Amino acid sequence: MGVLTAIALTIFVLELQIPPLTAVPGIKLGLSNVVTLFALAVLGPADAFLILVARVFLGSVFSGQIMTLAYSLTGGVFCLLAEAALIKIFPRRSLWAVSVIGAVIHNFAQICVAVLITRTPGIFWYLPYLAIAGIITGAFIGAAVQFSLRKGERIIRKFL
């Protein structure tokens, strides 16, 4: 769990160095979610939750962006809850779909937090753009985890 947390935190901090991809605020690749979904699939929801909380807390401290804590933690927890429920329903070869749904829920939760903090309901207008970005990045992240698990199983079978 410590290694996965360190990997997720490193990816999170490196991703902060990437300039914004679009003019729409809040759109990020969310690459550290690869580790969260991987941990969920391999270790289970409790361990994935601990990794998520450690990554978000330490990431907000190291980046100096304490508001990241409110947005990332809320989005991450709701995403993880949805993915934990969906991973029981969807076959492992459909992790990309689990990730897409989780990403959209993550964005929705973050928008809700932003509306609560700023008291600006107009922020909901960003949701379609964030949902499109979530679908794209969620599919990529889910496919990456799916590929990693499949390759990992093949490697393990070779040595057993």
Backbone CA torsion sign across 42, 105, 128, 61: negative
Tokens 């401290």 correspond to 61
In the chain, the percentage of residues whose pLDDT exceeds 90 is 74
Q: How far apart are CA 25 and CA 160, in angstroms?
A: 48
- Residue type at 73 in one-letter notation: L
Predicted pLDDT at 14: 92
* Six-digit token string for 98: 């689990």
Is residue 23 predicted with pLDDT exceeding 60?
yes
**Domains of the chain, first to last:** 2-159 (1.10.1760.20)
Q: What is the pLDDT of residue 159?
A: 65
pLDDT > 60? residue 54: yes
Cβ–Cβ under 8 Å, residues 37 and 98: yes
**Which pair of tokens denotes residue 40?**
């969920």
Please compute the mean of the pLDDT values over residues 123-149 and round it to a whole number.
94
| Tens of pLDDT, residues 72-93 | 999 999 999 999 999 999 988 8
pLDDT category of residue 65 using cuts at 50, 70 and 90: confident
